[in-house]
Structure 1
Amino acid sequence: MNIATLFAYGDNMIVKNLNHINIQTRDMARTIAFYGELLGLEARTAPRRKPEERQWLYDSESRAVIHLNLFGTDNTYAREVIPGGPTGAIHHVAFECDGLEDMVQKLEARGLRYERAELPEINLTQLFVVDPNNVLLELNFRHLA
């Protein structure tokens, strides 16, 4: 099964932009300082999380472009990540998308395993799927408030 067919042109599901990257870290303070000092990103506590375990780093337009998780804490889509391993400390890549039900149908029709997470407090549905290279994709679908 070729996951690229999920993103074929001419259907109702489109990727609008890259939403964020998620980095697993053993040193939250050092990582926050690095991105704050180098890129000017502002750290804020992630929704429903402890500040020592999760921080989101916001750009100048108040977009949370980097999510930091303390290594060893739980994730919505749990999987083993070894900082510094073959893929470095990146846990997943997220995309802002449209066409939730179309995507669910595509995943199911192709027999691709996925997980769904609902975050009603921020009007968000997430679908997690692994690509052929074992890269975890987070597909974000926003709902009107």
Structure 2
Amino acid sequence: MPVSKLAHYSIRTMDLEQSCRFYERILGFKRGYRPPFDFPGAWLYKGGDEADFGTVHIIGVDPDNPAGLTAYLGDKALPATGTGTVDHIAFLATGVEDMWKTLQAEGVAWRDRTVPSLGLHQVFIEDPSGVTIELNFPAEEVTGLAEAHPAFDRASINAGE
């Protein structure tokens, strides 16, 4: 039985609302149906298709009442920050200029990299829990910006670097 696609990824956090706001405001996810588990959390969807079970599952860690989470997912220590053994999560995206503006307006640091052989321009950010997210845009979007704006200066756009 081959794997057909990613169903979701889950992030444990001490601040459920801060993490949800990040995925909603920065990446455009929307909260949707989540089963009534016995621990705090939210399921976030892209495109509103709840048939796909949500792409991002935010798991709220309540240190005063860990029983529900422990019973369902096991007793795992919450790392201070970062992605643990998973290095990063990547999404395909469009609209790099709008993303830069959003990141700048929200005060989110980022770094850019173009991979010409793949035709990709990558923007790397971190969510509030320190999970690295890679956004892959068509490289021609950056080329198009440079052509449309001769004074285009990536350093001035990329204030988050």
Same fold? TM cut 0.5: no
| TM range, smaller chain | 0.3 to 0.5
Q: TM-score, normalised by structure 2?
A: 0.41
Comparing both chains, which one has the higher relative contact order based on Cα–Cα distances under 8 Å and sequence gaps of 6 or more? Answer: 1
Higher helix share: 2
